[in-house]
Chain A
Amino acid sequence: NAGVTQTPKFRILKIGQSMTLQCTQDMNHNYMYWYRQDPGMGLKLIYYSVGAGITDKGEVPNGYNVSRSTTEDFPLRLELAAPSQTSVYFCASSYHGDNQPQHFGDGTRLSIL
């Protein structure tokens, strides 16, 4: 089992460019999450999904979009990259809600210059 796989691992973008961060899981988990991690801030939830076709905003959704067309995949889209979006992005998944631990990918380190 690969678990949660994120691509790319590193990326540098110019201001105003767009890109998609990919996330896929092979554990047949219903719930998926996107977090960003900034130094000294812990992880902040961007978007989450409780199943295919269902997404909702987290704590810091501005500047991002998501889709969930399949159980396995949960891509995160940045439409107009801004320096404030420089961060490390983590995707996670769990079988279902509150009483299940989340499994994390290794992260995507994104720099906006």
Chain B
Amino acid sequence: AQSVTQPDIHITVSEGASLELRCNYSYGATPYLFWYVQSPGQGLQLLLKYFSGDTLVQGIKGFEAEFKRSQSSFNLRKPSVHWSDAAEYFCAGVHGSGNTGKLIFGQGTTLQVKP
């Protein structure tokens, strides 16, 4: 079955440190992949997306993600974390949905930033 897995439920990093959030997918072929961020009490905001082509994609707020087919991964990175990055992060994918856009979400990773 198709799935998206985020192995880390909770991550704590110090402000200014680098960040990597993991995402693994299980699809028969390359899915469309997304990273969303959710601040407390808010809806989800798109950070970046991967469809095809260049495997390193840039997003908003200084985030980037790298698609690695051999590892079935789409990890999110940021070189220097800011306190305002504390939030919940979701990886999501879609493939073979008959163009319905039905996303499958990972469980989410909560990011805490220490001052």
Contact = CB atoms under 8 A, between A and B. Distances in A.
Interface in B80-101: 90, 92, 94-95, 97, 99-101
Contacts of B41: 106-107
Interface residues on B, range: 20 to 34
Interface string A44-86: 1100101000001010000000000000000000000000000
A50 B90 CA distance: 23
Contacts of A41: 107
Interface of A: 4, 31, 33, 35, 40-45, 48, 50, 56, 58, 90, 92, 94, 96-107
B43 A4 contact: yes
Nearest to B34: A101
Which of B4, B49, B100, B101 lies at the interface centre, i.e. has the most chain A CB atoms within 10 A of its CB?
B101
B107 A42 contact: yes
Contacts of B46: 101-103
Interface in B53-110: 90, 92, 94-95, 97, 99-103, 105-108
